[in-house]
Amino acid sequence: MRDLHDVATLINADHRLVETLFQRLEAGQGDRRTLVNQVIFNLAIHAGAEEQRIYPAMKKAFDDDGDSVDEALDEHQSMKDALVVLDRGEPGEAEFEDALRTLMAEVRHHIPEEEGNHLPRLRQAVGDERMAELGKDFLKAELHAPTRPHPHSSSNPVVAAPAALVDKLRDKRSDRDESTAIDASGLLDPQAQALVEAHASLGVKPMHLLDASQARKQPTAADAVKRMLKGQDRDNSPEPVDSVLPLTIPSPAGDIEARVYRPQGADGTALPVLVYFHGGGWVIADLDVYDASCRGLANRAGCLVVSVEYRQAPEHPFPAAHDDALVATRWVMAHAGDLGGEPRLVAVAGESAGGNLAAATCLALKQAGEALPVFQLLIYPVASGAMDTPSYQEAQDAKPLYSGLMHWFFAQSVTDPAQLSDPRISLVEASVEDLTGLPPALVITAERDPLRDEGEQLAKALLAAGVPVAATRYPGVMHEFFGAAAVMDKAAKAQEEAASALRAVYAQTVAGMGVRN
């Protein structure tokens, strides 16, 4: 398997994104102006980065055939000329629509030549290792490239830098920068769309162009919920619970920080326990970002929620997060009574990468022959490293999680692409034998999410192994919706569905134990 930074992979991903936007425009989907703005942005930074970093490498490698690179540059010129018209015009105008048709034709002619000829020839000339180095250079160049078309300058790095600065200032003044962070497909319901737009208004940058430290400083979905509540003149303070207490879990790799949420109305009786792992692709986010989910589940399910932090990549690559999740779950199962919980009523849960950690932890405990949690709540879990499902293709332009960002998360998280086939990541590849006997599960997926299909595949695999499973796909919503119950009815419904499943399994377990809770 090739390096996840391979420049051909990155360029091809850009091509798929633009083609998805073209198809939406051709189908009359979504907001036409915003879709075109996204085409302009993505093609501008892509062309600028190619011209500054990739085409010079091609010219050097193709010393016997520089003409083919010149032809590609000429095609870029034609594309930029069309982009200038689109940038200045408005949808519906004859010149605008003619330019859009011209652009689509030019790009669709250009892509097969680049993917089928130029990039393979470059690989043959420089090798896989150099292609990975070029990929990293390409991403850096995209981050600093002009965001609008400059037909006669952006291939020159000396001119490109000031052009990019001017573009960014113009984008900010015109709110054009928000266009890149909006889902313009028209596929989200109004509440979901409002949340995505609130997130975009906070100045979100395309995260796949950042390094991990920069990405961790980006506004989150939790920030967007607060922005919406403030805009609606509503209280944006956290949902009240009885208490939230810090917890330190000992681990051979270093102490693991956690929080214990005690639900409102707790009377001192030992409570069921939910070990919860936050999302963020094993790279970003923390306990604060997913605080709302923990509060909602604690109150609705009437349980203690132990929200667990874990080591993050790239500083601590795979399997560090998985190791921490396993250590933390073992500790909670052994010490639940010390926290005011019932040790025989411990379930696990997680969102996104956290859903992966919850499921992988159950697999690891089973393989070790140890006691299992009573339930696994898997909210749009990462369940495969293949990135090849229909939902990945459909979500090229989704927000906040899009297909290219998942590729970035994986690139940060593993040191060898072969690790993406590890059953702790590719849960859907686990054998029937490994899955048999795992705890019952609820798998919640979002329609507008690259992880939708693999989550549903995991549910089917568990069911085929005889594990009791319920799976619910929430239509018209995106990844990260679950914690937004304060502003999204479907999030509140999903939290109640999750809590209802937890309450039921806790009650059934109590009945089976013959004890009172």
Higher pLDDT, 161 or 111: 111
Q: Is 306 helix (H, G, I), strand (E, B) or coil?
A: strand
Token output for 106? 């030019």
Segment 84-111 shows an average pLDDT of 97
479 noted as active-site residue: yes
- Cα 324–327–331 angle (5° rounding)? 135
Burial class (CB in 10 A: 0-12, 13-18, 19+), 406: buried
- Nearest C-alpha neighbor of 264 from the set 304, 225, 222, 308: 304
- Which range, of 136-145, 304-313, 320-329, averages the lowest pLDDT? 136-145
Average pLDDT score, the chain: 94
Instruction: Name the catalytic one among 201, 352, 384, 426.
Output: 352
The predicted pLDDT at position 159 comes to 62
Q: Which amino acid would we find at residue 319?
A: P
Which of 16-25, 63-72, 164-173 shows the highest mean pLDDT? 16-25
Q: From CA 227, how far away is CA 235, in angstroms rounded?
A: 11
- Name residue, tokens 């596929």: 187
- Name residue, tokens 């889902």: 183
> Taking the model in full, what pTM does it have?
0.96
Residues pairing with 445 in the sheet: 473
Segment 165-192 shows an average pLDDT of 84
Handedness of CA 297, 490, 216, 53 (dihedral sign): positive
Burial class (CB in 10 A: 0-12, 13-18, 19+), 325: buried
Instruction: Name the catalytic one among 167, 189, 324, 449.
Output: 449
Model confidence band, residue 154 (pLDDT cutoffs 50, 70, 90): low
Instruction: Name the catalytic one among 118, 278, 407, 479.
Output: 479
Token output for 412? 């940060």
- Name residue, tokens 């130029």: 118
Fill in the DSSP letter of residue 64.
Answer: T
Q: pLDDT digits over 19-59, tens only?
A: 999 999 999 999 999 999 999 999 999 999 999 999 999 99
Q: pLDDT digits over 396-419, tens only?
A: 999 999 999 999 999 999 999 999
The predicted pLDDT at position 66 comes to 65
Q: pLDDT digits over 341-380, tens only?
A: 999 999 999 999 999 999 999 999 999 999 999 999 999 9
* b/e burial code for range 357-393 (CB count within 10 A of at least 16 → b): bbbbbbbbbbeeeeebbbbbbbbbbbbbbebebebbe
Token output for 252? 């051979």
Q: Which amino acid would we find at residue 229?
A: L
- Cα 162–165–166 angle (5° rounding)? 90
Fill in the DSSP letter of residue 421.
Answer: G
Token output for 286? 């923390």
Model confidence band, residue 81 (pLDDT cutoffs 50, 70, 90): very high
C-beta of residue 154 within 8 angstroms of C-beta of residue 40: no
Segment 228-239 shows an average pLDDT of 96
Q: From CA 37, how far away is CA 58, in angstroms rounded?
A: 29
Q: Which amino acid would we find at residue 371?
A: A
352 noted as active-site residue: yes
Model confidence band, residue 516 (pLDDT cutoffs 50, 70, 90): very low
293 noted as active-site residue: no
C-beta of residue 464 within 8 angstroms of C-beta of residue 205: no
Q: From CA 404, how far away is CA 388, in angstroms rounded?
A: 12
Question: Is the bond leading into 319 cis (omega within 30 degrees of zero)?
Answer: yes
The predicted pLDDT at position 64 comes to 65
Model confidence band, residue 517 (pLDDT cutoffs 50, 70, 90): very low
- C-alpha separations of 497 from 49, 97, 162, 362 in Å: 46, 46, 52, 21
Segment 191-201 shows an average pLDDT of 97
